[in-house]
Structure 1
Amino acid sequence: MAKVIVIDPGHGGLDPGAVGNGLQEKDVTLAIAQRASYFLRQYGADVRLTRAGDRTFSTDKHADLNARAEFANNAQAAYFVSIHINAGGGSGFESYVMTGMADEEAGRRQNIMHREVAEAFEKAGLPDRGKKTANFAVLRLTNMPAILLECGFIDRDEDATLLRNRTFIDSIAEAIARGAAKAMGIFSSPLVDNPSPNQPQVISKYYKDITPGMEWAAASVDKLFERGIMRGDGQGNFRPFDKMTRLEAAVALNHAIEYVLKQLGR
């Protein structure tokens, strides 16, 4: 049975997280998490996202953080990776494990994960701010080894320019996937760049069930994802042949309206 890894895109819904340079933390963390989950599944991991769209478990911050940890605990996850974007002065990448856990299994995995992600930041010219510890709720309340990643500073021009660059987002997502796979001991198989003839070729940047024969729609599906209008199931599937419920239609239409209004500056 594949090991369950929970990826937690920080913030969401009415909680934008840090804001700066036209970016919102909740959007960037979700983009990184979706791509990291795509890469990590290629190592054979069972990846679950605490959120697959612009939502939270609760509008109450305390309840939301508790629910994210509970989600991972209920999934009996083997690893919990929370993704955030920093603010408040500074630049670069830093990682956190629970206070007192630096010499435990969480600390061992932090060493591996931090090395992979820090290298991706350094290649882009951003500094490694180091491995740290903190008493964050999602680190304290999860039953499995957990890590929180602060991936750049949204209020610094140089960091923000990279955070809106798809190639940079992919490099960070790949590093997170590689770090998690190494930390979990499932890195023996490389990323599947050339699937075997028995495996459907994936033609979407985000969904494994968008396959040959769907080329006419693949770019539109990816654009809807990038604009936050339609999301998949959080497990790397778009479900292209499923019927849309009235609830799902309402959410998609609302996201589309919000996107248009945002472009108009309203």
Structure 2
Amino acid sequence: MIIIDAGHGGKDPGAIADGVKEKDWNLEVSLHQYGFLKKLGIPCKLTRKTDTDLSPDKRSELVRSSGATICLSNHFNAGGGSGAEVIHSKYATSVFAKSTADALKKMGMSVRRVFSREGMNGKDYYYMHRLTGQVETLIIEYGFLDSAVDRKKLNVRSYRFQLAEEAALAAVRYMKGTLNSSVYFVQSGAYKEKSRAEQLCEELKKKGYEAFVKQER
């Protein structure tokens, strides 16, 4: 199970630059990520589906009680800098974070750093690491809103979605390989005629199954 967290929301806009509020892009990529994983048949949840307020206690409680093993907390950065950042708990290895960073790099987004941060009390600095229990949480900053280099890429909505998909696939690979859980894909039919494939797809949807048509060459 993966839980997807759209950072900030409601009265908390997150970073703001050139007319973009971070909370909006966070929600947009999180909803896309959720739909993408559902199509793959991967169990997943969201901490928020709309532009709502979530206190740190409420957000972290949603993650802790979700039954998930992984949380992807989606963000966009600001404040001077360029490139993606992937932040992991000080109690976790960097394996998952580095594989996620590599996936973003393959999509053409430079990676500024992969790191963990310790607070003054010796525990994790970020509450999404400190308060989410046994769930392995990654905070993913997909780029800087106030960087001309990053914004040229991030202004393209489909590119933001591609980055979100790559992060999701990195999580699936990590679950399968490191957490020793298997992922199974079910194929219901294969047709040369697209219309027949679409007909079966609609029949499956009516019965409550997640279904989509994919062309293989």
Gaps spanning 5+ residues in structure 2: where? 118-124, 192-196, 213-217
Q: TM-score, normalised by structure 1?
A: 0.63
In structure 2, what is the Cα distance between the partners aligned to 1:119 and 1:17? 27
TM-score calculated relative to the size of structure 2: 0.76
Does residue 142 of the first structure (1) align with residue 144 of the second (2)? no
Conservation of the 8 A alpha-carbon contact between 2:104 and 2:110: no
Q: Do 2:88 and 2:97's aligned partners in 1 also have CA atoms closer than 8 Å?
A: yes
CA contact (8 A) 2:76 2:143 kept: yes
Cα 1:119–1:210, aligned 2, differ >3 Å: closer, same or farther? closer
Q: Evaluate the alpha carbon distance shift between residue 176 and residue 66 of structure 1 in structure 2; reply closer, same or farther with a 3 A threshold.
A: same
Q: Take 1:83 and 1:73, find their aligned partners in 2: how far apart are those partners?
A: 17
Instruction: Kindly tell me the number of residue pairs found equivalent between the two proteins.
Output: 188
Residues 98, 139 of structure 1: 8 Å contact kept: yes
The equivalent residue for 2:34 is 37
The one-letter code matched in structure 2 to 1:113 is: T
- Aligned-pair identity in percent equals 28
CA shift, 1:35, in A, is 1.1
Distance 1:188 1:115, change over 3 A: farther
CA distance in 2, matches of 1:195, 1:39: 21
> Aligned Cα RMSD in Å?
2.8
Q: Which runs of 5+ in 1 are unaligned?
A: 58-63, 203-207, 212-266
Does the CA-based 8 Å contact 1:94-1:128 persist in structure 2?
yes
Provide closer, same or farther for how the CA distance between residues 116 and 16 of structure 1 changes in structure 2, counting only shifts above 3 A. Answer: same
| Partner of residue 78 from structure 2, selected from 84, 87, 96 | 87
Alignment partner of 1:6 out of 3, 13, 17:
3
CA apart distance, 1:117: 2.0
The worse-fitting range, judged by mean Cα deviation, of 110-119 and 165-174 is 110-119
Q: 2:152 aligns with which of 156, 161, 170?
A: 161
The 1:22–1:189 alpha-carbon spacing in structure 2 relative to 1, beyond 3 Å, is farther
Letter in 1 for 2:105: A
Q: What's the CA shift for 1:189?
A: 6.1
Q: 1:201 to 1:116 in 2, by over 3 A?
A: farther
Look up the equivalent residue of 2:66 and give its one-letter code: A
Deviation at 1:118, TM superposition (A): 2.7
2: distance between equivalents of 1:44 and 1:110? Answer: 23
The alpha carbon displacement at 1:162 in A equals 2.5
Q: CA deviation at 1:129?
A: 1.0
Does structure 2 conserve the Cα–Cα contact (< 8 Å) formed by 1:11 and 1:17?
yes
Deviation of residue 188 (structure 1)? 6.0
- Give the deviation of 1:42 after TM superposition: 2.7
3-state SS of 2:202 partner: coil
Query: Aligned ranges for residues 223-234 of structure 1 at < 5 Å?
Result: none
The one-character-per-residue Cα deviations of 1:211-249 (angstroms, maximum 9, x if unpaired) are 9xxxxxxxxxxxxxxxxxxxxxxxxxxxxxxxxxxxxxx
Match of 2:201 in 1: 199
